[in-house]
Copies of this chain bind each other. A is one copy, B any other.
Amino acid sequence: VTAAAAARPVVLIACQGVDTDAWLAALGRELPEAEVRVWPEAGDLAEITLAVVWRCPAGVLGRLPNLRGIFSLGAGVEAVLADPQLPASVPLVRLVDPGLATGMNEFVTMRVLHYHRDMDGYAADQRSHTWAPRAPPLPQDRRVGILGAGALGGLCARTLAGFGFDVASWSRSPRVIDGVRNYCGRDQLSDFLRRTEILVCLLPLTADTDGIINRRTLAELPRGAFLINVARGRHVVDEDLIEALDSGRLAAATLDVFREEPLPPQHPFWSHPKITVVPHISAVTQVATASRTVATNVRLLLAGCSVPDTVDRSRGY
């Protein structure tokens, strides 16, 4: 092995449920200075310096002695952090990709507008051939609340504020978004919920946010509120959500994420008349844009620069 070859970074794609051929081609193109391998054809594990992961097979990361960085292909990294063999001192970088953010912004805007304009009510009218126009509230009289004010929550909040909605965000620590009122910490969660007619969940999944949408918090929303969960299934307590819909506390919910995915065929969400189920497609990592983001982050890390969206393990995102 020559010195030049030894210096060449070796990237291991260790993913399940993604098109690894497409990622191999894209990273080969975006990172020509690196050698890219795909698990399980990993060769000498001591040569691997960088790992690109999504539903990474258990234990792989613990077997890479010279690993310098781990790059997630998603914005949520709770599954990576749950790996007991995750090396403690290797930086873990989340994917905050423009393609992902674009998709999330589209989906959240669409569903907020859908509920704002009572499209489910008009669909029911159509089934009975009923012509019953209703004036919608002006957007400034419609209170939207975003749980989470990071890259995705911030973008959605700004877009919805641009449509004229009365938007607030809730986050762990204070966050400033133009035109959006921020509530922060557990102390202000009740005030945030009590004002929120359309609730969007874009939180990271951590010990603090696990099950945050439950009987108690749903009861603080105004009667007839709407929920859009595009974060993680574990944010929602399934039985409490169904109870809130059945009691009329919540008018309807759009769910993109579930405790078990694929959502099992017999799960009651599928056939609940007030629930719209979509199969984790609100924001899809797009190889074309995400491979560029990963390549940029790899180069920053190898150059010893600080990498945006490096996970703070103590807070979990």
Contacts and interface: CB of A to CB of B under 8 A. Distances in A.
Interface stretch (A133-141, A167-175, A185-193, A240-248): A133-141
Interface in A253-278: 261-263, 265-266, 270-271, 276-278
A117 B106 CA distance: 8
A244 to B, nearest CB: 20
Given A114-B114, A117-B106, A138-B102, A126 B277 contact: yes
Interface in A271-290: 271, 276-281, 284, 286, 288-289
Contact of A139 (B106, B134, B135, B265): B106
Interface in A197-237: none
Contact of A110 (B117, B135, B286): B117
Contacts of A102: 138-139, 163-164
Nearest to A272: B126
A58 interface: no
A119 interface: yes
Contacts of A266: 129
A103 B281 contact: no
B114 A110 contact: yes
A276 B114 CA distance: 13
A113 B106 contact: yes
B286 A131 contact: no
Contacts of A122: 276-279, 281
Nearest to A140: B102
A129 B266 CA distance: 8
A136 B126 CA distance: 28
Interface string A109-148: 1100110110100110110010111111011000000000
A271 B138 contact: no
A116 B102 CA distance: 13
Contacts of A99: 138
A275 to B, nearest CB: 8
18 contacts: A99-B138, A102-B163, A106-B116, A106-B163, A109-B109, A110-B110, A110-B114, A119-B278, A122-B279, A126-B276, A126-B278, A129-B265, A129-B266, A131-B263, A133-B280, A135-B286, A136-B281, A138-B288
